[in-house]
Structure 1
Amino acid sequence: MSLPYTGGCQCGQIRYEILAQPLTLYLCHCKECQKQSSSAFGMSLTVLRDAVVIVQGKPKAWTRKNDRGREVNNLFCGDCGTRLFHERTYKPNTINVKAGTLDDTSWLHPVGNI
């Protein structure tokens, strides 16, 4: 796959581009990821924050605390509800892209499960 990687929400109101190679992809099985994905796990594609550009629309956000009490900003489409990103306030240089929102997911290979 060549850069940029593109993605967006289910209804198409929000579109984004990833301008640099991701740092890692993992599957998280914590209760919060299970709830947000309605599945056994959530996929998180960690990318440098400056490499993610929203090119259309504006996500809505809400903040929650994770299991360790750290704040996480959750960005999603206000129209269709698709979760797009998690911004961990304790790691401001990176953002977790919800990998299933990429236009092409064929190249994704998780490094592990947590």
Structure 2
Amino acid sequence: MSDPIVNAPIEPVTMPALPLTGGCQCGGLRYTIDAAPSVFYLCHCTECQTQTSSAFGESLRVDPAAVTITGRMATTRRLSDSGTIRLGDFCPECGVRIQHRSEGDPSRVNIKAGTLDDASWLIPAGHIWTTSKQAFMRIGADELAYPHAPEDRFAALIARWQAMVTAGRQPR
């Protein structure tokens, strides 16, 4: 029997020209992203729900070397269930979180995608921490969804995102 996720139609993502730009609500903190994101996904963990005051967090994973931030930024620190120290960078004036990252892991950062100047092109590659999703959230049978963090360290989500971006580059 074939895997319905693997054989599911790929939703094309038409990424805008780089750099991507964004910032906080008051405009005091701005950023540019000069390289294509490696993945975009939705996290339904209770921590993301609390942090965003919403049903999920939107994570756009990028190479930290591709991100330039201007303005004053503050950082929160917390211990995650996995024992990792998580850092959340935000505007100290309006409180909007711009990104989160793990202490000691300089290889990746997750931009909070709702802070992009234009987020209209985003389509998530999948969902994580669905065991704590809000009851009203519906996730399609053909969407990648993980009850917790993916055991494959996001490889399937990244591969699906890359296929979505590639499909968005194809003439229709």
In the superposition, the TM-score normalised over structure 1's length comes to: 0.95
> How much has 1:68 moved relative to structure 2?
1.0
* 2:106 paired with 1:95: no
Q: 2:27 aligns with which of 4, 12, 22?
A: 12
Q: Could you tell me which residue of structure 2 aligns to residue 82 of structure 1?
A: 96
> Taking every aligned residue pair, what percent have the same amino acid on both sides?
52
| Higher gyration radius (CA) | 2
Report the alpha carbon displacement of residue 6 of structure 1 after superposing the two structures with TM: 0.2
Say how many residue pairs are matched: 113
Partner of 1:63: 77
- RMSD of aligned alpha carbons: 0.9
Which of 44, 59, 68 is the aligned partner of 1:53?
68
Report deviation, 1:91: 3.1
Unmatched segments (≥5 aa) in structure 2: 1-15, 129-172
Higher helix share: 2
Supply the distance in 1 between the matched residues of 2:105 and 2:71 (Cα, whole angstroms).
24
Deviations 1:20-43 (A, max 9, x none): 000001100111101001011100
2:37 equivalent to 1:22: yes
The amino acid of 1:60's aligned partner reads A
> Per residue, is there more strand in 1 or in 2?
1
AA paired with 1:19?
A: D
Amino acid aligned to 1:12: G
